[in-house]
């Protein structure tokens, strides 16, 4: 049986990057930018107006909010972050108070 991975550094046959995917990121960006500029010059580029962008954002938000587990995880993370910030602030205030007391209080 032939070994398909010898030429592709451990990758199965058919997964080597070719064409656009094989280019470095800077080259990909340059080519994509030229395509976008050409579409604008030709007049076929799509530009969102504020109302269309608002509807698209609302549609995305509705889709995400259907996943209750995801929403619960987001809320939990926000609560933990807020609690962590409150604890850090309380600790900071506690330390400042003890430093001022050691220096003789407020002057």
Reply yes or no on whether the pLDDT at 97 is more than 90.
no
pLDDT, tens digit, 9 for 90 and up, residues 33-89 = 999 899 888 888 888 889 999 999 999 999 989 999 999 999 999 999 888 889 999
CA dihedral 7, 8, 12, 17 (to 10 degrees): -140
Reply yes or no on whether the pLDDT at 1 is more than 50.
no
65 vs 102, residue with greater confidence: 65
């Amino acid at each position: 049986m032939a070994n398909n991975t010898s030429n592709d550094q451990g990758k199965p046959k058919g997964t080597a990057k070719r064409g656009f995917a094989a280019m470095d990121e800077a080259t990909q960006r340059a080519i994509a930018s030229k395509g976008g500029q050409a579409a604008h010059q030709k007049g076929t580029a799509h530009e969102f107006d504020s109302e269309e962008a608002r509807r698209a954002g609302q549609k995305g938000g509705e889709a995400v909010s259907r996943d209750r587990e995801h929403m619960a995880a987001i809320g939990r993370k926000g609560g933990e972050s807020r609690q962590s910030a409150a604890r850090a602030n309380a600790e900071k205030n506690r330390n400042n108070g003890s430093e001022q007391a050691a220096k003789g209080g407020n002057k």
